[in-house]
Amino acid sequence: MMVKDTLLGKTLEELIQITADLKLPKFAAKQIADWLYKKDITSIEEMSNLSAKARAALAEKYDMGIILSTKVESSVDGTKKYLYPTNLAHQFIETAYIPDKKRSTLCVSSQVGCKMGCLFCMTGKQGFQGQLSSGEIINQIRSLPERENLTNIVYMGMGEPLDNVPELMKSLEILTSDYGMAMSPRRITVSTIGIIPGMIEFLNHSECHLAVSLHTPFEDERKRLMPVQNVYPIKDVLQIIRDFDFGLQRRISFEYIMFKGINDTPAHVKELCRILDGIKCRINLIRFHPIPDTPLEGSDEATMEDFKEQLVKKGITTTVRRSRGLDIFAACGLLSTKELVKRQEEEKDF
């Protein structure tokens, strides 16, 4: 059976190419983009301002690409976790919807699993199964029942977005363009562990905010927590940030998961201030919720509050991120890991 390509996730330029190939009028591309990104239909058949012939020609080669979530878990605090099947057999991704007073944030995934192997991360433990297409990224927003309420999008779900640059950039274009979902880039944050080539591309070709997972200012310590430090050391990541003109509106923030007795000492406050000196930024302190078989423990409340105070005193805007959806395993990777069908043992090369 021929697997059809999907329309969802195509940029306007790609849609123009598709309509040209199918010998449809040029304005059809804009009409299709409207149906894909601004309206609520789920099939090509419903694109009512396209001629029957145009719809038939499209449907012969393409699927709309809408994938509905197969499972949702709701937390007592209102957080919801949606599980979406992917094009890879038996593989799932997860998307967390986090409503708050005025904001409703969606945390989207960019890969199935992840290659980066951070010591504290469940997604890292499940290995890498594949890249999400921009259609699969956009689908997490497009198929969300609460789509109308969304105010913010963060790329902080499963995977490292900057290890999937082409699909990430396409999804950002669609989210922020007039022909697409027309969201302000100031409502979108992409989080990275610091993949430098991807960061350069992202900074130069989008206007969305950047969040960098820092987790410790000491290089040797970071190396043990995040193997990427061997390849793209944090000092080089910070140099790129220093060299880049973020303007007044674009934000850079640092994510900092707090591990008891490891990265929560006064020496860490001091070194953080030193390495971030001159960068206008915010630090988000995050509670660590232990995952199976981890040697790490989360810092206690008092230590976190004190750490925050010390940073604030030194002039760095710092917040302690509230934990949401604990009762539904909102910590990234847990839900999909439960669903994951492990690859055959004999496929491994070790």
Site membership for ligand SF4, residue 225 (CB under 6 A): no
Q: Interface with ligand SF4 includes 216 (CB under 6 A)?
A: no
Closest contact distance (angstroms) between CB of 87 and ligand SF4 is 20
Q: Which is nearer to ligand SF4, 79 or 191 (CB)?
A: 191
CA atoms of 199 and 212, how far apart (whole Å): 10
Question: Is residue 121 part of the contact set for ligand SF4 (CB under 6 A)?
Answer: yes
**Catalytic residue of the set 13, 45, 94, 219:** 94
CB of 339 to another protein, least distance (A): 18
State how far the Cα of 183 lies from the Cα of 165, in Å rounded to an integer: 20
Per rule CB under 6 A, is residue 124 in the interface with ligand SF4?
Answer: yes
Residue 304 binding partner per list ligand SF4, ligand FAD, another protein, none, with a CB distance cut-off of 5 to 8 Å that depends on partner kind: none
Question: Whole-number minimum distance, CB 106 to ligand FAD, in Å?
Answer: 22
Active site residue 107: no
Are 281 and 252 in contact by the 8 Å Cβ rule? The answer is yes
Residues within the interface to ligand FAD (CB under 6 A) = 131, 166-167, 231
Concerning whether 332 is annotated as a catalytic residue, the answer is yes
Residues paired with residue 188 on neighbouring β-strands, in sequence order: 153
| Residue 272: CB minimum distance to ligand SF4, A | 19
CB of 350 to another protein, least distance (A): 3
Q: Which of 65, 99, 159, 180 binds ligand SF4 (CB under 6 A)?
A: 159
Asked if 194 touches ligand SF4 (CB under 6 A), the answer is no
Contact partner at residue 193 from another protein, ligand FAD, ligand SF4, none, CB < 5 to 8 Å by partner kind: ligand SF4
With CB under 6 A as the contact rule, the residue among 94, 160, 167, 255 that binds ligand SF4 is: 160
229 binds, among another protein, ligand SF4, ligand FAD, none (CB under 5 to 8 A by kind): another protein
For ligand SF4, the binding residues (CB under 6 A) are: 114, 116-118, 121, 123-124, 158-160, 193
